[in-house]
Amino acid sequence: MRSSDDSWTADDDHRDVVVQRRSIVYTDGRPGTLRCVAVALASPLRVEVYLGRRNVTDELRATHAVTAGGRPGMRLLRYHVELMRHDFRPSVDDAGRRLTCTAFLEDDHNAANATSARLVVRRESVLRL
């Protein structure tokens, strides 16, 4: 379902969220980096990554950080979560699937934000002489 702001509703995800239209290109059989980052000022975060309907969060390395800024009495905490994998290898069978990164605020089951991209997986061409 499309709207005038160039976003669409994710109809094949486990929950309905509004995400931006994008694509990520990988080459079949070659490793690539997959990275999902979320930042919040309100509370700690939980981040999940789905490839189509399959939860791949546990396949990524998670890094959590909290930094404080501002003056004494006016401190602001910044929560940062990064999920990453340098050897992500989607296959041509994954082409067209949606890769979705969703952030949730602590103790909230509703998505705070989500970003999604369609996977483009190209076959590696072989040059023959």
pLDDT in tens, 51-93: 999 999 999 999 999 999 888 888 889 999 999 999 999 988 9
Give Cβ neighbours of residue 16 (< 8 Å, ≥ 6 apart): 9, 10
CA dihedral 114, 117, 118, 120 (to 10 degrees): -150
Statement: 7-122 belongs to CATH 2.60.40.10:
yes
State the pLDDT at residue 41: 86
Domain extent listing, the chain: 7-122
In terms of phi and psi (left: phi > 0; alpha: psi -120 to 50; beta: otherwise), the region of 108 is beta
**Alpha-carbon distance 59 to 129, whole Å?**
39
Average pLDDT for the chain: 81
Flag whether pLDDT at 13 surpasses 80.
no
**Alpha-carbon distance 69 to 38, whole Å?**
18
Higher pLDDT, 5 or 24: 24
Q: Is the distance from CB of 1 to CB of 73 less than 8 angstroms? A: no
State the pLDDT at residue 5: 40
Q: Which two tokens stand for residue 34?
A: 């997959």
